[in-house]
Amino acid sequence: MSVFMDLNLNYSADQSRMRSLIETAAHLGFSTVAINYVFEPTNKKKQEVPAPVALGELMAVLPTVQGRSRPIKVLNRLTIVMSDSSHFRPNAVEYRCFDLLAIQPTTEKLFHAACMMYDVDIICISVTEKLPFFFKRAPVNGAIERGVVFEVSYSAAIRDATRRRYTIANAISLMETCKGKSVILSSAAETALELRGPYDITNLGLLFGLSDGDAKEAVSCTCRAAVLHAETRKTASGIISTIKSESLCQQEAPAAECESPAAKRAKPQLTE
């Protein structure tokens, strides 16, 4: 049985709404969801990255996933809407409390940098307006090689007919470039009514230009790859390297000088 995931449930300060989202996702068969905190910095004033709410404050007991005997897994995700390169700060302390890190570039230059350089897990594709640039194969392939995935959300297509056209057009443009690889489909839902089941999303993926197999992977295997990439990214940034300190070297030096002449003569000598 496939493990289905929705890595984008929009955060709301209304805790009853968040509980309803998580409970509905579990009822629909999603084993893992991510609460998404959207951060859109501006150049006019300094803004603080939102801190994730503790899961215990949202609900005391997590609902059980339909068809499984275990509770749903809830992750925290930060999405940075970038209109300037200074909006993303590599290795920022504020990013470490999130399980997933995503960015939504708004220009072609930032999209290229996100694909080739930025250490993130997900690159979001805007679905609320026509993209001001075309997807190019080189940066898209570069992101795929680095293990970064692209995200297309579908809830905007439910809310408005105009956004539905933008969602389909932008999704098809991406699929033509990446050939349906390294793509995840998520809801970006604000209410429980905007959530759809995994198999409904798979059918929606066919409308976006995905094959049947790629559409199923977009809500299962590729989502799992994004979560594993996030765990690897956080682990790699925490590696500790050790070197021999100078004090130890100084302690070893006198010991060598105290060797007896006989011990020194016993060591093999190198000759040219």
* Domains recognised in the chain with CATH numbers: 4-236 (3.20.20.140)
Going across the sheet that includes 122-124, the strands are 4-10, 30-39, 73-82, 100-105, 122-124, 149-153, 183-186
Residue 262 has pLDDT above 50, yes or no: no
The pLDDT of residue 237: 54
Q: What Å distances lie between residue 216 and 5, 83, 182, 200, 221, CA to CA? A: 11, 32, 12, 10, 8
Q: What is the pLDDT of residues 99-134, one digit of tens each?
A: 999 999 989 999 999 999 999 999 999 888 888 888
Is the CB of residue 34 less than 8 Å from the CB of residue 100?
yes
Burial class (CB in 10 A: 0-12, 13-18, 19+), 27: middle
Stretch 55-77: mean pLDDT, rounded? Answer: 89
Return the structure tokens found at 262.
């006989």
The pLDDT of residue 90: 79
The pLDDT of residue 11: 94
Is the CB of residue 187 less than 8 Å from the CB of residue 9?
yes
What is the pTM assigned to this prediction?
Answer: 0.82
Is the CB of residue 38 less than 8 Å from the CB of residue 81?
yes
The pLDDT of residue 42: 77
Stretch 61-81: mean pLDDT, rounded? Answer: 91
Is the CB of residue 119 less than 8 Å from the CB of residue 145?
no
Q: Is 88 helix (H, G, I), strand (E, B) or coil?
A: coil
Q: Quote the CA–CA distance of 81 and 270 in Å, as a whole number.
A: 64
Residue 92 has pLDDT above 70, yes or no: yes
